[in-house]
Amino acid sequence: MRNNAIEVNNVSISYRILNSVSIRKTLFHKKQRNEVFEAVKNVSFSVEEGGILGIIGKNGSGKSTLLRSMAGVFSPNEGTIDLHGHSVSLMALGVGFKPELTGRANVMLSGLLLGFSEKEVEDRMDEIIEFAELGEFINRPVRTYSSGMHSKLAFAITAMLETDIMLVDEVLSVGDERFRQKSMEKMRQLIMDKDRTVVIVSHDIPILKELCNQVLWLHDGEMKEIGSPQIVLGHYEEFMSE
């Protein structure tokens, strides 16, 4: 029996909401009530080493919030997330890139933040740049990139700088069709490593059915169901068609 790579126990995550009225009150130092939105509510699950978990749910269900918390972007308000010392990378749009730096500089920065040495990143730099297919844009500031270009660079960095745990947020569905096919093939290769653990957030049911051995369904921040992809995704499709 394999050990768990990820253990999420009773995790809740809340945001403080500032609407336009609240912002005005803040500017003029007026008293205001703090509005709190519970994005994730008391969620618990585990993923074995080498497991591939899919997370599905409608927009606003807490999927990306949970994934970012697993990546350490921010801490949960309640509960614990234990990655048991495994290295982790987050593949998501708009996360981790410094817009004023070039694509090349962001590759180096991302690699260093993932725990790789400067030499290790340099050794993989050409491979990352070739996979990303950004051409001369690799030497331009990331703020000039389209969302598709962001996605290509994010995928290339995470795919080539391989970590024990890969967290993937929707980027498999961004970009042109040819790059999506290329990304899917690379993801299949990465998943074939039985020691790599993957969590994929996606609305793409066929992708989750193909790649995952377990699916978690989040609804309004709560865990509605977790289990085999065929069963959970079948229930999700029924629910969404009602």
Q: What CA–CA distance (Å, rounded) separates 232 from 45?
A: 15
Q: For residue 152, list its beta bridge partners.
A: none
| b (16+ CB within 10 A) / e for 211-235 | bbebbbbbbebebbbbeebeebbee
What confidence score (pLDDT) does residue 115 get? 85
For the chain, give every domain's residue range: 97-157
Flag whether pLDDT at 24 surpasses 60: no
Write down the pTM of the prediction: 0.84
Do 88 and 70 meet the contact criterion of CB atoms below 8 Å apart?
A: yes
What confidence score (pLDDT) does residue 31 get? 54
Query: Which tens digits make up the pLDDT trace of 169-197?
Result: 876 666 678 888 888 888 888 887 888 99
Flag whether pLDDT at 217 surpasses 80: yes
Query: Which tens digits make up the pLDDT trace of 42-70?
Result: 999 999 999 999 999 999 999 999 999 99
What confidence score (pLDDT) does residue 147 get? 82
Q: What CA–CA distance (Å, rounded) separates 109 from 80?
A: 28
Flag whether pLDDT at 18 surpasses 70: no
